[in-house]
Chain A
Amino acid sequence: DTGVSQDPRHKITKRGQNVTFRCDPISEHNRLYWYRQTLGQGPEFLTYFQNEAQLEKSRLLSDRFSAERPKGSFSTLEIQRTEQGDSAMYLCASSRTETDTQYFGPGTRLTVL
């Protein structure tokens, strides 16, 4: 197993456009998490899934953000009508269970012009 993968690694978009990111967790990891990281800060929690169920969303996740995990495998994070303030690194992590270690992917760096 090669770990958590994310695609794309970099995305540059114009303000107002929609973007979608994909995360493939470690196989058989039931939990999948999305975080946002800005320069000089630690990762900030956005949302997480237990299998296909989205169990918690942070207040950071505005209504322009939506995440899915169909069939409990890969996940997508979509941002609609992007704003410059959305520019950040979007990190995905997965774990086998609630108490197990979270393993992070390499992230998708989003730049909104």
Chain B
Amino acid sequence: GENVEQHPSTLSVQEGDSAVIKCTYSDSASNYFPWYKQELGKGPQLIIDIRSNVGEKKDQRIAVTLNKTAKHFSLHITETQPEDSAVYFCAASKPGGSYIPTFGRGTSLIVHP
């Protein structure tokens, strides 16, 4: 089955800096890659996603890039703010798997004011 590796497990930045979280996946059939943000005591919330027919997608301060050849994708957050502090999960899914996502282990992002 699919295996998703996520790095780093913890990321500490100063407010205003950029943050990058990287994920790799194993199944070349995966074609949908969502990113979720989970705050303490809450369920994961989708922040951005990308499908395999595009290499990059941006939404204000958040961007995701996808390299299908290398089977890795990354989340970029610019101008970080303290409210960006949370656990971020990447995931990969594919049509043959009913689009059930396989999640990475998460990255705890801490933004210091």
Chain A residues packing against B (C-beta within 8 Å): 4, 33, 40-45, 48, 55-56, 91, 93, 98-99, 101-107
In contact, A99 and B46 (Cβ under 8 angstroms): no
In contact, A91 and B44 (Cβ under 8 angstroms): yes
Name the prevailing secondary structure of the A interface residues.
loop
Chain B residues packing against A (C-beta within 8 Å): 4, 6, 32, 34, 36, 41-46, 49, 89, 91, 98-106
In contact, A45 and B44 (Cβ under 8 angstroms): no
* C-alpha gap A71/B20 in the complex (Å): 44
Partner of B42, one of A43, A101, A103, A106: A106
- Residue among A42, A43, A93 with most chain B CB within 10 A: A42
Known A55-B98, A56-B98, A99-B99; contact A43-B44, beta-carbon cutoff 8 A: yes
In contact, B105 and A40 (Cβ under 8 angstroms): yes
* C-alpha gap A45/B44 in the complex (Å): 14
* Chain B residues whose C-beta falls within 8 Å of the C-beta of A99 in the assembled complex: 32, 99
In contact, B98 and A106 (Cβ under 8 angstroms): no
* C-alpha gap A56/B100 in the complex (Å): 10
| Shortest distance between the CB of B44 and any CB in chain A (Å) | 5
